[in-house]
A and B are shown apart, each in its own frame.
Chain A
Amino acid sequence: MSALDLARWQFAVTTLYHFLFVPLTIGLAWFLVGFQTAWLRSGEERWLRLTRFFGKLFLINFALGVVTGIVQEFQFGMNWSAYSRYVGDIFGAPLAIEGLAAFFIESTFLGLWIFGWDHLKPRVHLATIWLVAIGTTASAYFILAANSWMQHPVGYRLNPVTHRAEMTSIFQILTNSTLIRAFGHTIAAAGLTAAMLVLGVAAWHLRKRGEAELFAPVARVALWATLAAAVATVLLGHTQGQLMTKQQPMKMAAAEGLYRTENGASFSLFALGPWEKRPSKNLVNIAIPHGLSILADNSWSGTVQGMNALQAEYVKKYGPGDYKPIVGVTYWTFRIMTGLGFVAIVFALVGLWLARTPDRLERSTRFQQLAVIAIGLPIAANLAGWLFTELGRQPWVVQGLLLTKDAVSPTVSAWSVGLTLAGFTLLYGLLAAVEVKLMARAVKAGPDAAGTFGAEPPGDGSSPLPIPALTY
């Protein structure tokens, strides 16, 4: 394998791994905001118990999101130094702004939230979790600004002397149409990820512990949140797809397995191509007539460009080369992502239908078991979504400007990249095992486990609402 292939694998491994934790962090932060605000407004103790309980899960997850995020900030320079030189004038700015304007907020105020329970007034303490949630969401905005520029470059010019892209308008970069769509879609998906986690955890407790008075209302809230977030994710994803058809037609054509340009194109449900590196047709294709034209263009017989025509057009524009992504991967990751979105909607509707009858949700073991498994659905969809959007852009690293093969560090040997790839994979695997175990322990320990976690100060170990020990 070449240094390029290894560097690509490394980026995929480290970025996907990081993205396992990020959506959950963003979504759960807003759930905590909801729980703690409800507690402060109503004074009901159950909201405090929920804040504490889900706060524990949030922290276990947050830790890995933070430490794997450091790699993200460094690896552009380490593995992709040619890319860094080419786009740094534009790409570095949103990353630096993210650090200064968002990540500082979330890290500092998370520390205040965790350790500030008996140091801050309740309202100030509530404000800290609000700031954490706002910080994580703002982080997503700036990171997606950087990524959206790679999908759809705006606000730049090419400098013929230095051979690099240079920023002409930060405003255009921060209001990129691609960014607005991607941000909405990603935040909705983050909400869905957290909602299904809360639902699954509540369902597990209903089944194993039967703490209905605490967890049944949470399950209902989570079901509504799942429905709302899933519908929002699908709808926003749809508008994103329509925009993508215009901005990155090759990616969408690959996502649909559409080789020839069609008027009134069908929407493919299941397709298989020949098992070869550069297939140019499908062997099997089960499709809904006119479906794709309606989805992509809002019209019965709108034209959707196929990959073969686009390939010919790009050769003319950019010179000889293969401008198709790996069609099979793009097609199937897109289907996994969208398919799981619809599964989530159906799942939430079934749950809400069960919940109409009093006690039905509390007694339906089948649904409760499914809800635990379903925690993985949005996580799988998130990963598929990232794979789709990044692999579908290939062979470009910046659409239309820079090819991935020209972006890699020229001075780093394949041996070095291989070594660090092995190192990160091993380390991340170990950490994943520890994280899953700790999460499962915390879920099983339940909402009142705080006192049993360690040597609590004497006198409050048994109380459901421990009184602060001596302050420090």
Chain B
Amino acid sequence: MIVAASTHEYWNLQTLWFFLIAVLWIGYFVLEGFDFGVGMLLPFVGRNTQERSTLIRTIGPVWDGNEVWLLVAGGATFAAFPGWYASLFSGFYLALFLVLVGLIVRGVAIEYRNKRTDDSWRRRWDWILACSSAVPALLWGVAFANVVEGVPTDAHGQVTASLLDLLGPYALFGGVTWLVLFAFHGALFLDLRTVGDLEARAHATARRLAIPAAVLVLGFLAWTYANALSAHDKGIVPGIIPVTAICLPFAGAALVGAQKSGWAFAATAGSIALVTLTLFLNLYPRVIVSSTSNAFSPTIFSTSSTHYTLTVMSIVALVFTPIVLAYQAWTYWVFRARLGDVDAPASPAELLGRSPLGRQSS
């Protein structure tokens, strides 16, 4: 692999964009991670359709904005590293198809569930929502583990793997880690956003999930380290990052036990971010590891756009990213209050029926 010899070799636009894309994926996993978790836990934390309405409402105003992080990560990869985008998306073809189906069905489930009142309609969508949240959560873990562990490629860095090649033990372990960590993250989110019975049940669920999630993160990163050692390609990972990523879910387990759910949520968010960062740092400066030959691995330099395009995109990112962060943060502030059973009616149609402040009569 190519290792930059001195610090100044990291000062290039390719490296900047590699880390901007890492940031976009971190944003996506931290935010949609709890959306996925809420979806997966829906049938378990909510006992009836009324309660599940409340649970869905905790993510109702934000899930769509959270998903845009994925679209921007995809678009930014296309713009900054067309070769990476082309190899990754054509190489993980059927896996991505399943992710897409999951995301489509999930979005429709969230939006259409409350369009009708009958229980059987809502119950059906609740289960669809749970399954379609679990599938992408699992598959993203599988995909990222594969990119780091290595997949068969040709000499041009085009992935030649079949769907079965992508389901090795390490990749599946990565998938399960993501699934359980997102479930834990989602349980903590519900713990923070609900009151009463729902809060109690979300809290209990978070406590049950804490240790399994922490052990899985430990196992996954240990396995990642072992792979890197045996392949002599540790990338540029400073040890403190994976170690913190491992410690945080354990800290989360302790914090949720001590009734400090807000801090526990911060810990799972941090762990998701640092696990993702570890994978990206392990990868750098490659963009996909070729298991066929080290020399075949495409890198940020072999797949990138021109200096001009990267400069244009850097300016765009510099201008718009702070604005996006500001108004998304504001959204979370607006919808910060906890939800209880009394607020159960959650359909957009019903909410549209409400009149704004100041205009209401009586």
Q: Decide yes or no whether B155 CB sits under 8 A from chain A.
A: no
Interface residue SS majority, chain A: helix
Inter-chain contact B348/A114, CB cutoff 8 Å: yes
B72 within 8 A of A: yes
| Contact indicator B86/A472 (Cβ below 8 Å) | no
Please tell me which one of the listed residues B159, B308, B362 contacts residue A168 in the complex, with CB atoms under 8 A apart: B308
Among the interface residues A115, A118, A466, which one has the most CB atoms of the partner chain B within 10 A? A115
Complex contact B354–A468 (CB within 8 A)? yes
Question: How far does the Cβ of B278 sit from chain A's closest Cβ, in whole Å?
Answer: 25
Known: A70-B67, A427-B101. Is A454-B75 also a contact (CB below 8 A)? no
Nearest neighbor of B343 in chain A, beta-carbon distance: A472
Q: Which residues of the other chain, A, contact B60 by a CB distance below 8 angstroms?
A: 111, 114-115
Whole-angstrom CA separation of A16 from B56 in the bound complex? 31
Give the number of chain B interface residues (Cβ < 8 Å).
93
Let me know if B103 and A67 touch, CB within 8 A.
Answer: yes
- Across-interface contacts of B67 in A (CB, < 8 A): 66, 70, 107
Q: Which of B72, B117, B342 contacts A469 (CB 8 A)?
A: B342
Contact with A along B329-359 (1 / 0, CB 8 A): 0010011011110111111111111111111
Q: What per-residue 1/0 map shows which CB atoms of A412-423 lie under 8 Å from chain B? A: 100010011001
A456 to B345, Cβ gap below 8 A? yes
**Closest Cβ neighbor of A461 among chain B residues:** B353
Please report the total number of A residues contacting B with Cβ < 8 Å: 94
B residues within 8 A CB of A111?
A: 60-65, 331
Residues of B within 8 A of A84 (CB): 78, 82, 85-86, 89
Determine the distance from Cα of A290 to Cα of B297 in the docked complex, in whole angstroms.
61
Stretch of A73-81, A177-185, A293-301 contacting B (4+ beta carbons < 8 Å):
A73-81
Nearest chain B CB to A81 CB, angstrom units: 4
Whether the Cβ atoms of B86 and A166 lie closer than 8 Å is no
Task: Take A85-B83, A96-B76 as given contacts and tell me if A434 and B108 are in contact as well, using a CB distance cutoff of 8 Å.
Answer: yes
Residues of B within 8 A of A79 (CB): 90
Q: Which residues of A contact B79 (CB under 8 A)?
A: 88, 92-93, 95-96
- When C-beta atoms are compared, the residue in chain A nearest to B65 turns out to be A108
Q: 8 Å CB contacts to B: which residues of A402-457?
A: 409-412, 416, 419-420, 423, 427, 431, 434, 438, 441-442, 449-451, 453-457
Determine how close the nearest CB of chain A comes to the CB of B222; give it in whole angstroms. 32
A107-B68 contact in complex given A74-B89, A78-B90, C-beta closer than 8 Å? yes
B112 touches A438 (CB 8 A): yes
The reply to whether B321 and A71 form a contact with Cβ atoms under 8 Å apart is no
Query: Which of chain B's residues 198-231 have a Cβ closer than 8 Å to chain A?
Result: none
Is the CB–CB distance between B72 and A99 below 8 Å? yes
Surface stretch bound by A, among B91-99, B176-184, B238-246, B280-288:
B91-99
**A96 to B346 Cα, complex, angstroms:** 33
Nearest-neighbour CB distance to chain B for A452, whole angstroms, equals 8
Alpha-carbon distance A162/B121, docked complex (angstroms): 54
A-contact bits for B150-191, CB 8 A (1 contact / 0 none): 000010001110000000000000000000000000000000
Stretch at the interface among A56-64, A323-331, A377-385: A56-64
Q: Are B316 and A82 in touch, CB under 8 angstroms?
A: no
Closest Cβ of chain A to B335, distance in Å, is 6
Residues of A within 8 A of B (CB): 48, 51-52, 55-56, 59-60, 62-64, 66-71, 73-74, 76-79, 81-82, 84-85, 87-93, 95-101, 103-105, 107-112, 114-122, 125, 164, 166-168, 170, 409-412, 416, 419-420, 423, 427, 431, 434, 438, 441-442, 449-451, 453-457, 465-472
Given contacts A74-B96, A411-B91, A467-B355, 7 further A-B contacts (CB under 8 A): A89-B309, A95-B78, A96-B79, A104-B320, A109-B327, A111-B64, A412-B93
What residues of chain B have their CB less than 8 Å away from a CB belonging to chain A? Answer: 50, 53, 57, 60-65, 67-68, 70-72, 74-83, 85-91, 93-94, 96-97, 100-101, 103-105, 107-108, 111-112, 114-117, 154, 158-160, 305-306, 308-309, 312-313, 316-317, 320-321, 324, 327-328, 331, 334-335, 337-340, 342-362
The 7 A-B pairs at the shortest CB distance, nearest first, are namely: A88-B82, A77-B89, A450-B353, A92-B79, A92-B78, A63-B111, A96-B75
Give 28 CB contacts A-B under 8 Å.
Answer: A66-B64, A70-B104, A77-B85, A77-B86, A84-B85, A89-B306, A92-B77, A92-B78, A92-B79, A92-B85, A96-B78, A99-B72, A99-B75, A100-B324, A103-B68, A114-B61, A117-B354, A121-B357, A164-B82, A166-B308, A409-B86, A411-B158, A427-B104, A442-B349, A455-B345, A465-B355, A470-B342, A472-B343
